[in-house]
Amino acid sequence: MADLIAGVATSHVPAIGAAIDLGKTGEAYWQPLFRGFEPSKKWIADLKPDVVILVYNDHATAFSLEVIPTFALGCAAEFPPADEGWGARPVPVVKGHPELAWHMAQSLILDEFDMTIVNKMEVDHGLTVPLSLMFGQPDAWPVQVIPLCVNVVQYPPPTGHRCYMLGKAIRKAVESFDRNLRVVIFGTGGMSHQLQGPRAGLINRAFDTEFLDKFTTDPQSLVRLPHLDYVREAGSEGIEMVMWLIMRGALADDAKEVYRFYHVPASNTAVGHLILENPGLPQRRLAATEQQMSNPAVDAREEVVNHVVAQ
């Protein structure tokens, strides 16, 4: 049986991908951000998942206004990185897991989530930046990836509650797959940011902090948050945070936060990052992980505060 063992939330800012691809990660502007992901890279290298279900949004790349699926599941064997107007990112082709993806599609549709099945799709920074943040720059990605594309560009996106419930159905689908696979789910996008209009540049640290605080232990208080609140408080593109709730719904109610990082800015965006583990992971790993995680997390938070104050 496949096991859904952990969740990762992270922003997917395109400028982060550009910084990695252009070798700028050591620059003063970027160094604090990338340092915040070092423990995460160690964590996932140790965890060695077989498959990542990667929840993200397409940014007018694979889909345009011609077709706007609310939830699209990538069932192909591979997904090439897209040319988003400045050449494709120099990252490996993303290998899918068609058997599990098709199993999920069937299970989700029979569970009354009307998924769009996608057999041909290029993937943009929304998917490849989280992979780069977690896995660095390998010759081949060390996991198979099932893309789950959510519309958050055309209003209205799905509600937070719908996303959360989809997450629960995803867990059921994964755990009814008759193969021994270790599966991690990524929820990406956010946190507060607004890319458009005279109010561009909005960052709401208080909103983001409360979202991070409630996400693991009290997600019920977030799932009914209206779209209006996201847009007003976290910016027009802050609405992407509903995608994190798919990840949360897919994990156990008593999943545990083992790492947190927050940093402002990456270009126009507040970067948020969480790692959650389901109960049942070998205790040895969990303990080791906590030990590895706790200090860097605190350092990272101090770093962020210092960074902002120093500027």
Partner 1 sequence: MSDNGFDDIPGTILFDAERSRQGYHLNMFCMSLMSSDNRDTFRADERAYLARFPMTPEQQQSVLDRNWNRMLELGGNIYYTSKLAACDGLSFQNIAALMTGSTQEDYAKMMLEGGRSPEGNRSKSEWNRG
| Binding-site ranges for partner 1 (CB under 8 A) | 14-15, 59-61, 64-66, 83-86, 153-156, 192, 194-207, 228, 231-233, 235-237, 264-265, 267-268, 270, 308, 311
CB 70 within 8 A of CB 150: yes
> Residue 193 has what DSSP assignment?
B
CA atoms within 13 A on the CB side of 19: 22
User: Which of 29, 3, 46, 9 has the alpha carbon at shortest distance from 287?
Assistant: 46
Question: Cα 138 to chain center, whole Å?
Answer: 19
Q: Are 166 and 251 in contact (CB under 8 A)?
A: no
Q: Which is nearer to partner 1, 25 or 268 (CB)?
A: 268
151 and 68 in contact (C-beta within 8 Å)?
A: yes
Return d(Cα 36, Cα 275) in angstroms, integer: 12
Closer residue to partner 1 in complex, CB, 23/85:
85
Which positions ≥6 away from 309 have C-beta within 8 Å? none
- Amino acid occupying residue 124: D
Q: How far is the CB of 126 from partner 1 (least distance, A)?
A: 10
Classify residue 158 by its DSSP letter: P
Residue 177 has a CB neighbour count (10 Å cut-off) of: 20
Angle at 89 between CA 87 and CA 93, to 5 degrees: 120
**Nearer CB in complex with partner 1: 199/284:** 199
Amino acid sitting at position 4: L
The residues facing 15 across adjacent strands are none
Output 1 or 68, the one with its CB closest to partner 1: 68
Between 228 and 254, name the residue whose CB sits nearer to partner 1: 228
CA distance 256 to 294: 13
Contacts with 181 (C-beta within 8 Å, 6 or more apart), sequence order: 2, 3, 50, 51, 97, 100
Residue that the structure tokens 């694979």 belong to: 62
Least distance CB 152 / partner 1 (angstroms): 10
Smaller CB distance to partner 1: residue 5 or 270? 270
Nearest approach in angstroms of CB 230 to partner 1 is 11
Active site residues: 125, 193
